[in-house]
Amino acid sequence: MDTDHLHAHFVVDKHGIEEGRFLSICRHAALNFDVMRELHAEISQSHGLNILASSRLSRGIIENPPRQSELRASREGGKPTPPAPTPLSEGERSRRLAVLQGFAREYDALGDLAGLAAAAGIETATSSYLTRLARALGASAAALRQGVPLMPDHSLHAEGDPAARVEAARSEMIASATEAWEAIRAMEPSAERVDLERSFAEQARASLKLAPDSILLAEHAQVADRNTDPYHDPTLASLARLEQGQTEGVSLDEGLRATLAHVRDEIGERLTALFSIREDELRIAGTSVEEMVARFSLAERSEGQRASWITEQPNTMQKVFWMETERALGQEVRAEVAAFNLAPELTEAFARDQLLSADRHMKLSEVPALEAIVDRLHDTLKPEDLDRVRSGDLAPLNEQVRDPALRAAVAHELKNEGGLGQSSEVGPWADLARAQHRAAELGQRDRAVERDTGHEL
């Protein structure tokens, strides 16, 4: 043994004993040295021997090893170290560095999986095997990105097969998720049940990478398409996102938060009154007035949620009837919400939220709250002020729209209404809104530093 770790060497005679055929082993063939090394490790594992099957590149070693003939000659000649390997060409070095960075990305991905498995399994302590495995893989990825050779953690390898431990945690996680979902659906209809369904969907999105073949997790990780979701209303969705602080780039002061809470409560009362007319119908369908208000009040619903609300109906006829009921209720809710008179500053917050959360390729004219501002200004601005805006002078909008990015988007849409342009896609305007928000945050931070410095002086 010339090393401190268990290992093996292959001796392969490429000249076959049958018909003298030559064995070709190359990097791109089905049979190559990496495959042979991994198969050998698997066979050794089945006999209780843990042997590392990693390649030199996967350990961050780029240079070629000394040839065996050179090592023997060095020993026979009494030299303490073998001669340096032949330098790599620039092309070969670049290729190997690219492969090394690919290994770094794979270690990162495997570390994420191990972390998910640690969170999902019974080994939740910070010293658990899977937690240590996640940290080791993350450290390996960082080392490879910096071009530093890895120092394998043999203690982890000695504790068993990492893939088997991750697979065991994955199976446990799927079983726990199935049990949790069945318990949620067994609850009495309530707003709490809807909130637990929402939390389950969030967890499914976080866990899907660990179990991509789980139909349950995949259905709940998939957000329902707002174009076909009968529960979707853009105003209610914005209310939920703003209340939960989900949209990056939108901040509300205390006064606006109070207004938001008041609007939320008032709309909730209106929806409760609307659904109360169908209370018996909802009870037969396995839901309630309170639960329906909660369903419509979510920022988004998962495909798993939507499917469960339909499949819980006892037969095909009632399933069809319930889907028709959902569509009818959706129309009634949208009409009720559209009739609600929102304060201009809240409409502006909704417009910013919808701009930042919309698909980048959506047209500006399809952002409801933004078009509400455009319609209001079209009716309230003087004709000469409208003409100024359409000619590029945004001064008439300064008092009407406080947010600079929204002001520019509104001016663009007013110009479009005047036949002087075309409605553009949301993407560039959302980027502008984010950039201005970051600039404002940096400005506030700089002013805070100046105040602190002035205080110290």
pLDDT digits (tens, 9 = 90+) for 275-284: 999 999 999 9
Q: How far is CA 166 from the centre of its chain?
A: 21
State residue 269's pLDDT score. Answer: 96
Position 18 pLDDT exceeds 60? yes
| Residue 72 maps to a domain | no
Position 447 pLDDT exceeds 70? no
Residue 18 dihedral angles phi and psi, to the nearest 5°: -100, 115
Q: What is the DSSP string of 296-362?
A: HHSS--BHHHHHHHHHTSSSHHHHHHHHHHHHHHHHHHHHHHHTS---HHHHHHHHHHHHHHS-TTS
| Residue 17 maps to a domain | no
Provide, rounded to the nearest whole percent, the portion of the chain with pLDDT above 70: 81
Looking at residue 283, its amino acid is R
- Mean of the per-residue pLDDT values for the chain? 82
Cβ burial, residue 248 (10 Å; 0-12/13-18/19+): exposed
State residue 1's pLDDT score. Answer: 44
Same domain for 327 and 288: yes
Same domain for 318 and 255: yes
| Residue 434 maps to a domain | yes
In 10 A of CB 212, how many CB atoms? 11
State residue 457's pLDDT score. Answer: 35
Q: Which of 351, 409, 418 is nearest to 378 (CA)?
A: 418
Residues whose CB falls within 8 Å of the CB of residue 352, separated by 6 or more in sequence, listed in order: 247, 249, 250, 403, 405, 406, 433
Same domain for 445 and 348: yes
pLDDT band at 270 (very low <50, low <70, confident <90, very high): very high
State residue 231's pLDDT score. Answer: 97
Q: Which of 411, 413, 457, 406 is nearest to 436 (CA)?
A: 406
In 10 A of CB 384, how many CB atoms? 8
Total length of the chain: 457
Same domain for 242 and 328: yes
Same domain for 325 and 364: no
Q: Which three-class secondary structure state does DSSP give residue 285? A: coil
Q: What is the pLDDT of residues 190-206, one digit of tens each?
A: 999 999 999 999 989 98
Q: Which residues of 357-371 are buried (b: 16+ CB within 10 A; e: fewer)?
A: bbeeeeebbebbbbb
Q: How far apart (Å, rounded) are the C-alpha atoms in residues 400 and 414?
A: 13
Residues whose CB falls within 8 Å of the CB of residue 297, separated by 6 or more in sequence, listed in order: 236, 239, 240, 264, 268, 271
Q: 9 — alpha (psi -120 to 50), left (phi > 0) or beta?
A: beta
pLDDT-wise least confident of 101-105, 293-297, 349-353, 429-433: 101-105
| Residue 396 maps to a domain | yes
Q: How far apart (Å, rounded) are the C-alpha atoms in residues 138 and 109?
A: 9
Last residue of a domain, one of 315, 338, 361: 338
Same domain for 333 and 249: yes
Torsion angle in degrees (nearest 10) through CA of 115, 120, 122, 124? 50
Position 45 pLDDT exceeds 80? no
Q: How far apart (Å, rounded) are the C-alpha atoms in residues 434 and 14?
A: 62
Please say whether the beta carbons of 173 and 113 come within 8 A: no
Last residue of a domain, one of 306, 338, 370: 338
pLDDT band at 164 (very low <50, low <70, confident <90, very high): confident
Q: Which domain holds residue 403?
A: 344-456
Same domain for 415 and 323: no
Same domain for 195 and 249: no
Looking at residue 290, its amino acid is E
Please say whether the beta carbons of 29 and 14 come within 8 A: no
| Residue 94 maps to a domain | no
| Residue 109 maps to a domain | no
Last residue of a domain, one of 308, 338, 368: 338
| Residue 416 maps to a domain | yes
State residue 157's pLDDT score. Answer: 62
Q: What is the DSSP string of 147-180?
A: TPPP---HHHHHT--HHHHHHHHHHHHHHHHHHH
Q: Is the model more confident about 88 or about 269?
A: 269
How far the first Cα of the chain sits from its last, in Å, is 69
* pTM as predicted: 0.72
pLDDT-wise least confident of 166-170, 173-177, 298-302: 166-170
Same domain for 448 and 351: yes
State residue 167's pLDDT score. Answer: 79
Q: How far apart (Å, rounded) are the C-alpha atoms in residues 86 and 137?
A: 31
Same domain for 334 and 249: yes
State residue 251's pLDDT score. Answer: 80
The listed range with the strongest mean pLDDT (49-58, 223-232, 400-409) is 223-232
State residue 455's pLDDT score. Answer: 46
pLDDT band at 368 (very low <50, low <70, confident <90, very high): very high
Domain count along the chain = 3
Same domain for 403 and 433: yes
| Residue 128 maps to a domain | no
Same domain for 412 and 429: yes
